[in-house]
Structure 1
Amino acid sequence: MTRPSIDQIGSRPSSRPRRPSFAELVHSISNRDVETRYKEEEADNRIPTDDAPDSSQFPDGDGKIIISWEINDKENPYNWPKWRKYIILVTTMVTVINSTMGSALPSMAIPYMTKEWGVTSEVQFVLPISTFLMGYVFGPMVWGPMSEHIGRRNLSVGCFIMFTIWTMACALAPNWPAMLVFRFLVGTFASAPIAVTTGILADVFHDPVTRGRAMAWFMVTTVFGPLLAPIISGFSSTSIGWRWTFWIGLIFAGLTLIMLLALPETYAPVLLSRRAAKIRKGDPNSQVYAAADLESKDIKQLVTRVLTRPIRMIMTELIVTAVCLYLSLIYAIFYMSFQAFPIIFQDVYGLSPGVTGLCYLPIGFGAGIALPIFFSYDHLLANAQSRGAPWSKQEEFRRVPLAAVGGPLFVISLFWLGWSARSDVSFVVPMLAGIPFGTGFILIFMALLNYITDAYEIFAASANAAASSCRSVFAVVLPFATTPMFAQLGISGACSLLGGLSLVMCVIPFIFIWKGEEIRARSKFCIALKERKLEMERKNEEQQRRRAAAASSSGMDTEKENV
């Protein structure tokens, strides 16, 4: 028996299939993810995948009846009355104020907490805020995609109840380690509104303009929470004790929970599943289901497709990656201010903790200024679109120019703060730097979070969860460098360094305006979403033509009968 030569062995076709690369595997999962979610979206919006009857019910291949929204269906969140949508918006805004206020609640109370428990390490002074933000890192990666899997309402209420419980635990904390553990748990559950609210707003506001305005109000409230926190902790700690900082937070959370319990479910697949279950309950022999009922919900899909979605978006979507980097830096700088402001206003100007807390108010004023700027640009864009201006048709011009304005304002505020904070200059001058700081901060967040919400549509919650987790990582790490950086570089040097980094990042919105369309054209998620959306529109048009033809035929038959 002759053995094959080496050349023959090398030329023999391999019987083993080629293993896909990691990138190919990620893209494959993302494509299946988009296909599955859009099939469900098609079914939910009365667009069957075959020649089904013109009804809110159509059969699938197994004889099951799949229900979907009727035209002008009152139970469809898009068709809810405006007053109900506005109540939902206000509820989510108040919930987010609790969440963001909790992040900075102990900011001015830390010296009194550490004194009671004998903590002397300056590194540990940062931990009550950093451990909370560590919860912000991990929480959204679960809550965002889970809300796209099981719905918004129950997840929001459950997480907020746990947030309330752990806030009470902080008020009763017996020692420093327990406090840090409780703060981590508070942050984990407090991150749910940050991750889920964008999805709720996308559920109820179908029109991009209205949704953008709702997002603008939501974004402004995210700033006021951390601004209220230093005022509460600053005055409470010096008068009635640092524990009352958390008791006040708990009272506010309890009042909010009453509002939150009235929050309806807004996620269409869950609402249709409930409708189908109600029909089956009334008629046990019926085979009526929602599209979501027929979707596989095994643990493998949950892990590989749902929970990994934010991570896949960070790794493979350039838009998400760039937005995460920019928002992470400015968010971290915002939380660094909770160490920087005491250095500036207490050490340089000798202000009390309570009055130092009031120095955050110009940031809130600046955040308020961002709203009329946002609405004015909305009006300008609408006028340009009505005139048919070519620039107004580009997706990037709907939101991104606001970040192009906010970025330079944010940079200016940091140099203003750093170079005016001197003992021979009134403390009012560096304090007023908070106005462009707040305006720039909010405009950047409004623009970029709205941008990724519009770009990723049904995956808005996952895209925002990715952004939330990334910026929280930076907000955990960078504050540890605040005190050493200000000690080594001085106030002017440290603020100039942060301003320089912000200056580099502020080119990102300009790149989006310049090349955003090309970037989206290469995005796996955006390509799949666009294809599915065009397919839905095509099927919807065909369905409308069939309906018109049927109505015309029925009219002719009626005329013949009358004759």
Structure 2
Amino acid sequence: MADISSTTLSVTQGDEQTTQTSQVPQAPQTQQAHEQPASQTHKHNGLHQIIHDIDERDAEARYREEAADNIAGVHTRSSAVHHHNQRTPSLSDNENDALILAWSENDHENPYNFSSLRKASIVITTMLSIINSTMGSSLPSNAIPYMAEEWGVTSTSQKVLPMSTYLIGYIFGPLVWAPLSEQFGRQKLSWATFAFFIIWTMACALAPNWPAFLVFRLFCGTFASAPIAIVTGILADIFDNPVSRGRAMAFFMVMTLLGPLIAPIVSGYCSTTIGWRWTFWIGLIYAGASLIPLLIFLPETYGPILLRNRAIRMRKADPKLNIVAPHELEKKDLRELMTVVLTRPLRMILFEMIVTSVCAYLALVYAIFYMTFQAYPLIFEGIYHFGPGKEGLIFLTIGAGSLLSLPIFYAYDMYLYRATQSGKPWTKIEEYRRLPLACLGGPVFVISLFWLGWSARSDVSFVVPMLAGVPFGLGFMLIFLALLNYITDAYEIFAASANAAASCCRSLLATVLPLATAPMFTSLEISGACSLLGGLSCIMCVIPFIFIWKGEQIRANSKFCIALRERKIEMLRKVEEQRQRQLHFEQRDGVLSESEPVIRPDQKETV
């Protein structure tokens, strides 16, 4: 939810709009100078004009809703209360007689006001679902040779498909789950998708043949992608403080990395002892155990849905009560759902330079990470003659590197906090809040690839290439932490869709690139293949430096950021107008009698 203290969206008297003096800061002239030519350009550009109009409509609708959701202590009254035929402030011209339900200050049902213990339980519960989701992606990695032997699969490219089909689900799933969670809420969607994930995991354990197994993996990945898309939205729902939200995102990213690293150990030891199918039975047992806290401890955290539920309860308690939640006033038919809500991540990928650049960089890093599940067996089984289980343990060094990123992240976070408290000028530059970590992580990641490639030789101890996993995990985590937090901050109320766009792109490349791993490492050898990947990563690691250099200009030219900024400024202006309007009502009418109640959300729902 956007951090807006209070508002309604239209203030009218008779047929004319009332204008009040606003104390909300207006957009800087420099921004207006950027925005005006941009809007003129859109008018002469067919496709871009259509996209711009959709973005404007999308941003306006969401900020109208978010503004009313976060209202604090300013509530509308029935038109019967007002005299002289005055119209009630409303979110819609068709809702003039309705009371608009909104949060009051310190409302205990507002997710921002959840207790620390409750927030911690939500974070832990969602992290369990993240581990399930990401562990499933690499679960068959060391079991594939045994499956291939049982079903007579000999093609090298076919043997990559159990992981690739799962990641295909990661491509398309977030494009649906993220915007749906922003429209219908987080809780029930999380429950439903996780239940289907369990069902398809069981189907993988019972698969009768190779084609059926691949189909089951596709569906498994589609439903497993839901936590990746939804959890970032949940964290944005419950943490309004960027510091707290950033720390929660750090745990989120660690879990996304640890899951795939645990899976090769499970499949490596299961396949050689009790059979490859037990790889999936163990995954199913863990998923079933994770479902229990998900059902118990995960509440609905999406503010608009919580207010809608409260309005429904109040109307049920008193059918004569004409009260609505802002979410109910935003009428979205199927056409609106298809053209605005579900296209939001795609529009971000195609027309937002920030999202496009971040997606490209994260996609390469993520794909290289999944290539290690093909490359490590070539290195540690081919050169050092490790068994599948022992080779799976090598992935723990990547996990150690990812954990090492947390103290670095927290140290920078504290440094940034102290600098902000001291009023350092550089802290006012948005890119400095997140991107310096990516500036550190990018070169570290590049070094790890050259380290691995040029030390993996029979005359060098396995410890040397194994230790390359530490900077690999460290660089990987710092890049992801910085860039995902950056786009989360940049796109605010559309954080889930921005993260879904990033998830879609990185999963797409992680699906395709591992297909080339075996041919590339065979033709270029280990040193050449790792050097090629290191060179590509070196080119891409300039992206956060460019953002720090030109980030403000890039955001100023971003259609989505312009639309969000304009809507936010407009809503903040109307917040102040409504405050002034409410003061006017109170001064004119005096204290209301008991027959003229004002509905407040912190009151009991029986009116």
Fold match, TM over 0.5?
Answer: yes
Aligned to 1:300: 335
Equivalent residues in 2 for 1:26-425 (5 A)? 26-46=51-71, 59=90, 61-62=93-94, 63-262=97-296, 263-425=298-460
Distance in 2 (CA, whole Å) between partners of 1:265 and 1:207 is: 19
Residue 537 of structure 1 and its aligned partner are, at CA, apart by 3.2
Give the aligned partner of residue 457 of structure 1: 492
SS, match of residue 108 in structure 2? coil
User: Could you tell me how far apart the structure 1 residues matched to 2:562 and 2:512 are?
Assistant: 35
Question: Which whole-Å CA distance do the structure 2 matches of 1:387 and 1:200 have between them?
Answer: 31
Is the CA contact 1:58–1:67 (under 8 Å) kept in the aligned structure 2?
Answer: no
Query: Is the 8 Å Cα contact of residues 350 and 356 (structure 2) preserved in structure 1?
Result: yes
State how far apart, in whole Å, the 2-side matches of 1:80 and 1:547 are: 28
1:9 maps to what in 2? none
Aligned amino acid, residue 145 of structure 2: P
1:429 aligns with 2:464: yes
Q: Is the 8 A contact 2:75 2:100 kept in 1?
A: no
| 1:478-493 to 2 correspondences below 5 Å | 478-493=513-528
Larger helix proportion, structure 1 or 2?
1
Q: CA offsets, 1:367-399, max 9 Å, x none?
A: 000000000001111111122111111111110
1:34–1:296: structure 2 CA closer, same or farther, 3 Å change rule?
same
2:560 corresponds in structure 1 to 525
Q: Which amino acid aligns with 2:93?
A: G
Mapped partners of 1:293, 1:51: distance in 2: 16
Q: Indicate how the Cα distance of structure 1 residues 272 and 555 shifts in structure 2: closer, same or farther if over 3 A, else same.
A: closer
Name which structure has the greater RCO, CA cutoff 8 Å, separation 6+.
Answer: 2
Matching residue of 1:5: none
Deviation at 1:283, TM superposition (A): 1.4
Q: Does the CA contact (< 8 Å) of 1:135 and 1:188 recur in 2?
A: yes
The answer (yes or no) to whether the contact 2:127–2:252 under 8 Å persists in 1 is: yes
Q: Cα offset for 1:539?
A: 3.8
- In structure 2, what is the Cα distance between the partners aligned to 1:141 and 1:383? 38
For residues 187-215 of structure 1, the C-alpha deviation after alignment (integer angstroms, 9 at most, x for no partner) is 00000000111100000000111100110
> What is residue 509 of structure 1 aligned with on the other side?
544
Query: What's the CA shift for 1:47?
Result: 7.5
TM-align CA RMSD: 2.3
Asked if the contact 1:276/1:289 (under 8 Å) is kept, the reply is: yes
Closer, same or farther: CA 33–547 of 1 in aligned 2, 3 Å: closer
Distance of 2:272 and 2:471 partners within structure 1: 30
- 2:143 and 2:372 map into 1 onto residues whose CA distance is 15
CA drift of 1:531 comes to 2.2
Whole-angstrom distance in 1 between the partners of 2:472 and 2:152: 36
Letter of the aligned partner of 1:61 in structure 2? Answer: D
User: Is contact 2:74–2:579 with CA below 8 Å preserved after alignment?
Assistant: no
Aligned partners of 1:327 and 1:445 also within 8 Å: yes
Local SS of the residue matching 1:536: helix
SS of 1:261's equivalent? Answer: helix
Give yes or no for contact 1:58–1:65 (8 Å, CA) kept in 2.
Answer: no
Q: State the secondary structure of the residue aligned to 1:388.
A: coil
Quote the Cα distance in structure 2 between the aligned partners of 1:380 and 1:184. Answer: 44
In structure 1, C-alpha distance between the alignment counterparts of 2:508 and 2:74, rounded to whole Å: 43
Q: How far is 1:540 from its partner?
A: 3.7
Q: CA 1:102 to 1:288, structure 2 compared with 1: closer, same or farther past 3 Å?
A: same
Query: Does the 8 Å contact 1:147/1:155 carry over to 2?
Result: yes
Change in CA separation of 1:48 and 1:36 when aligned onto 2, cut-off 3 Å: farther
Moved more, 166-175 or 275-284: 275-284
Counterpart-to-counterpart distance in 2, 1:380 and 1:530: 28
Pair 527,388 (structure 1): closer, same or farther in 2 beyond 3 Å = same
In 2: Cα distance, 1:47 partner to 1:78 partner: 13
Counterpart of 1:173 in 2: which secondary structure?
coil
Measure, in 1, the Cα distance between the counterparts of 2:333 and 2:115.
36
1:86 partner letter: A
2:37 aligned residue? none
TM-score (norm: length of structure 1)? 0.92
Secondary structure in 1 matching 2:93: coil
Q: Secondary structure at the match of 1:201?
A: helix
Distance 2:479 2:268 in 1: 29
Structure 2 residue matching 1:273: 3-state secondary structure? helix
- The residue number in structure 2 matching 1:7 is none
Unaligned 5+ segments in structure 1 are 1-17, 557-563
Contact 2:445 2:474 in 1 (8 A): yes
Shift of 1:548: 7.7
- Return structure 1 stretches of 4+ with deviation > 2 angstroms: 47-53, 57-62, 531-556
Give the 3-state SS of the residue equivalent to 2:100 in structure 1. Answer: strand
Q: What 5-or-longer segments of structure 2 have no aligned partner?
A: 1-42, 82-87, 592-607
Deviates more, 1:25-34 or 1:521-530: 521-530
* Change beyond 3 A, Cα 1:45–1:475: same
CA distance in 2, matches of 1:268, 1:217: 23
**Aligned residues of 1:166 and 1:186 also touching (Cα < 8 A):** yes
Within 2, Cα distance between the matches of 1:157 and 1:28? Answer: 34
TM-score normalized with structure 2 length: 0.85
Question: 1:532 Cα deviation (Å)?
Answer: 2.4
Tell me the percent identity. Answer: 64
In 2, Cα distance between the equivalents of 1:19 and 1:362? Answer: 54
